[in-house]
Structure 1
Amino acid sequence: MSDCGCDKARKDLEEYLRNEMCKTEHSDIREHLENCDACREEALVATTLTAVVARACKESAPEQLRDQVLARLRTEQAAHH
Protein backbone atom coordinates (compact mmCIF):
# COMPACT_ATOMS: atom_id res chain seq x y z
CA MET A 1 0.00 0.00 0.00
CA SER A 2 1.11 3.54 -0.57
CA ASP A 3 -0.05 6.87 0.74
CA CYS A 4 -2.31 8.36 -1.91
CA GLY A 5 -1.72 11.97 -0.83
CA CYS A 6 -4.05 14.74 0.32
CA ASP A 7 -5.39 15.66 -3.13
CA LYS A 8 -6.65 12.15 -3.90
CA ALA A 9 -7.90 11.54 -0.35
CA ARG A 10 -9.96 14.73 -0.38
CA LYS A 11 -11.19 14.20 -3.96
CA ASP A 12 -12.42 10.68 -3.19
CA LEU A 13 -13.47 11.20 0.43
CA GLU A 14 -17.22 10.85 -0.15
CA GLU A 15 -16.79 7.60 -2.08
CA TYR A 16 -14.42 6.33 0.62
CA LEU A 17 -16.88 7.10 3.42
CA ARG A 18 -19.69 5.33 1.52
CA ASN A 19 -17.44 2.34 0.69
CA GLU A 20 -17.94 2.94 -3.03
CA MET A 21 -14.41 2.25 -4.26
CA CYS A 22 -12.20 -0.73 -4.90
CA LYS A 23 -10.42 -2.37 -1.98
CA THR A 24 -6.97 -1.08 -3.02
CA GLU A 25 -8.03 2.56 -3.28
CA HIS A 26 -10.00 2.26 -0.03
CA SER A 27 -6.90 0.92 1.73
CA ASP A 28 -4.71 3.69 0.30
CA ILE A 29 -7.08 6.40 1.51
CA ARG A 30 -7.50 4.73 4.92
CA GLU A 31 -3.72 4.67 5.28
CA HIS A 32 -3.52 8.34 4.34
CA LEU A 33 -6.22 9.29 6.86
CA GLU A 34 -4.36 7.40 9.60
CA ASN A 35 -1.28 9.53 8.95
CA CYS A 36 -2.70 12.94 8.03
CA ASP A 37 -4.41 14.95 10.76
CA ALA A 38 -5.91 17.50 8.33
CA CYS A 39 -7.55 14.91 6.08
CA ARG A 40 -8.67 12.83 9.06
CA GLU A 41 -10.33 15.96 10.49
CA GLU A 42 -12.05 16.60 7.15
CA ALA A 43 -13.30 12.99 7.14
CA LEU A 44 -14.66 13.46 10.66
CA VAL A 45 -16.50 16.64 9.62
CA ALA A 46 -17.99 14.86 6.59
CA THR A 47 -19.06 11.87 8.70
CA THR A 48 -20.62 14.11 11.34
CA LEU A 49 -22.43 16.21 8.73
CA THR A 50 -23.80 13.10 7.04
CA ALA A 51 -25.09 11.76 10.37
CA VAL A 52 -26.75 15.09 11.25
CA VAL A 53 -28.45 15.34 7.86
CA ALA A 54 -29.64 11.72 8.07
CA ARG A 55 -31.05 12.33 11.53
CA ALA A 56 -32.78 15.54 10.39
CA CYS A 57 -34.38 13.71 7.47
CA LYS A 58 -36.00 11.26 9.88
CA GLU A 59 -37.64 14.02 11.89
CA SER A 60 -40.94 15.54 10.84
CA ALA A 61 -42.16 19.06 11.34
CA PRO A 62 -44.94 19.70 13.85
CA GLU A 63 -48.37 19.47 12.21
CA GLN A 64 -49.16 23.16 12.80
CA LEU A 65 -45.92 24.24 11.10
CA ARG A 66 -46.56 21.92 8.14
CA ASP A 67 -50.07 23.37 7.76
CA GLN A 68 -48.68 26.92 7.81
CA VAL A 69 -46.03 26.12 5.20
CA LEU A 70 -48.53 24.37 2.92
CA ALA A 71 -50.98 27.26 3.23
CA ARG A 72 -48.25 29.73 2.33
CA LEU A 73 -47.18 27.63 -0.65
CA ARG A 74 -50.75 27.48 -1.91
CA THR A 75 -51.07 31.25 -1.54
CA GLU A 76 -47.82 31.81 -3.47
CA GLN A 77 -48.82 29.36 -6.20
CA ALA A 78 -52.23 31.01 -6.59
CA ALA A 79 -50.61 34.43 -6.88
CA HIS A 80 -48.36 33.25 -9.74
CA HIS A 81 -51.09 31.58 -11.85
Structure 2
Amino acid sequence: MTGCSCGDAQREIEEYLQRECCEERRDEIRRRLACCPECFGELEISERLVDRVRECCQEAAPSEVRARVLAAIRVTPCGSGGDC
Protein backbone atom coordinates (compact mmCIF):
# COMPACT_ATOMS: atom_id res chain seq x y z
CA MET A 1 0.00 0.00 0.00
CA THR A 2 1.42 3.37 -0.94
CA GLY A 3 2.53 5.47 2.02
CA CYS A 4 1.60 3.14 4.86
CA SER A 5 1.62 -0.45 5.99
CA CYS A 6 -1.35 -2.77 6.21
CA GLY A 7 -1.12 -2.40 10.02
CA ASP A 8 -1.70 1.32 9.59
CA ALA A 9 -4.56 0.50 7.25
CA GLN A 10 -6.22 -1.65 9.92
CA ARG A 11 -6.19 1.27 12.36
CA GLU A 12 -7.61 3.53 9.66
CA ILE A 13 -10.35 0.99 8.88
CA GLU A 14 -11.35 0.96 12.54
CA GLU A 15 -11.37 4.77 12.68
CA TYR A 16 -13.46 4.86 9.50
CA LEU A 17 -15.97 2.27 10.67
CA GLN A 18 -16.40 3.79 14.12
CA ARG A 19 -17.01 7.19 12.51
CA GLU A 20 -14.47 8.80 14.82
CA CYS A 21 -13.44 11.33 12.18
CA CYS A 22 -14.93 14.00 9.93
CA GLU A 23 -16.17 13.26 6.42
CA GLU A 24 -13.00 14.69 4.85
CA ARG A 25 -10.87 12.26 6.87
CA ARG A 26 -13.15 9.37 5.90
CA ASP A 27 -12.70 10.31 2.22
CA GLU A 28 -8.93 10.45 2.71
CA ILE A 29 -8.91 7.01 4.36
CA ARG A 30 -10.98 5.58 1.52
CA ARG A 31 -8.60 7.03 -1.10
CA ARG A 32 -5.53 5.67 0.71
CA LEU A 33 -7.03 2.21 1.08
CA ALA A 34 -8.00 2.15 -2.59
CA CYS A 35 -4.25 1.81 -3.36
CA CYS A 36 -4.21 -1.67 -1.80
CA PRO A 37 -6.81 -4.15 -3.13
CA GLU A 38 -6.60 -6.33 -0.01
CA CYS A 39 -7.07 -3.46 2.43
CA PHE A 40 -9.80 -1.86 0.34
CA GLY A 41 -11.60 -5.19 0.13
CA GLU A 42 -11.40 -5.51 3.91
CA LEU A 43 -12.84 -2.01 4.28
CA GLU A 44 -15.76 -2.81 1.99
CA ILE A 45 -16.57 -6.10 3.72
CA SER A 46 -16.25 -4.54 7.17
CA GLU A 47 -18.40 -1.58 6.15
CA ARG A 48 -21.18 -3.87 4.90
CA LEU A 49 -21.01 -5.90 8.11
CA VAL A 50 -21.18 -2.82 10.35
CA ASP A 51 -24.07 -1.38 8.31
CA ARG A 52 -25.99 -4.65 8.61
CA VAL A 53 -25.42 -4.82 12.37
CA ARG A 54 -26.62 -1.21 12.71
CA GLU A 55 -29.75 -2.07 10.73
CA CYS A 56 -30.46 -5.09 12.91
CA CYS A 57 -29.94 -3.14 16.11
CA GLN A 58 -32.64 -0.67 15.09
CA GLU A 59 -35.30 -3.34 14.90
CA ALA A 60 -37.45 -3.56 18.02
CA ALA A 61 -37.90 -6.88 19.72
CA PRO A 62 -41.48 -8.15 20.03
CA SER A 63 -43.21 -6.77 23.13
CA GLU A 64 -43.45 -10.19 24.82
CA VAL A 65 -39.69 -10.74 24.41
CA ARG A 66 -38.94 -7.28 25.83
CA ALA A 67 -41.23 -7.97 28.80
CA ARG A 68 -39.47 -11.28 29.55
CA VAL A 69 -36.03 -9.70 29.33
CA LEU A 70 -37.02 -6.81 31.61
CA ALA A 71 -38.56 -9.22 34.11
CA ALA A 72 -35.38 -11.30 34.13
CA ILE A 73 -33.28 -8.19 34.70
CA ARG A 74 -35.44 -7.14 37.64
CA VAL A 75 -34.98 -10.47 39.45
CA THR A 76 -31.28 -10.89 38.69
CA PRO A 77 -29.05 -9.52 41.46
CA CYS A 78 -26.36 -7.19 40.22
CA GLY A 79 -22.79 -7.86 41.23
CA SER A 80 -21.64 -10.83 43.26
CA GLY A 81 -22.65 -9.17 46.54
CA GLY A 82 -26.02 -8.03 45.26
CA ASP A 83 -24.98 -4.38 45.57
CA CYS A 84 -26.04 -2.00 42.82
- State percent identity of aligned pairs: 32
In structure 2, what is the equivalent of residue 3 of structure 1?
A: 3
| TM-score, normalisation: structure 1 | 0.66
Q: For the aligned residues, what is the CA RMSD? A: 3.1
**Structure 1 position 72, deviation (Å):** 1.5
In structure 1, what is the equivalent of residue 21 of structure 2?
A: 20
Contact 1:15 1:21 in 2 (8 A): no
**Structure 1 position 24, deviation (Å):** 7.8
Greater Cα shift, 18-27 or 4-13:
18-27
Contact 1:13 1:43 in 2 (8 A): yes
Q: 1:75 to 1:37 in 2, by over 3 A?
A: same
- The number of residues matched between the two structures is 78
Contact 1:34 1:40 in 2 (8 A): yes
Q: 1:23 to 1:54 in 2, by over 3 A?
A: closer
Instruction: Provide the C-alpha distance between the structure 1 equivalents of 2:26 and 2:77, rounded to a whole number of angstroms.
Output: 49
In structure 2, what is the equivalent of residue 77 of structure 1?
A: 77
Name structure 1 gaps, 5 residues minimum: none
Q: What stretches of structure 1 move > 6 A for 4+ residues in a row?
A: none
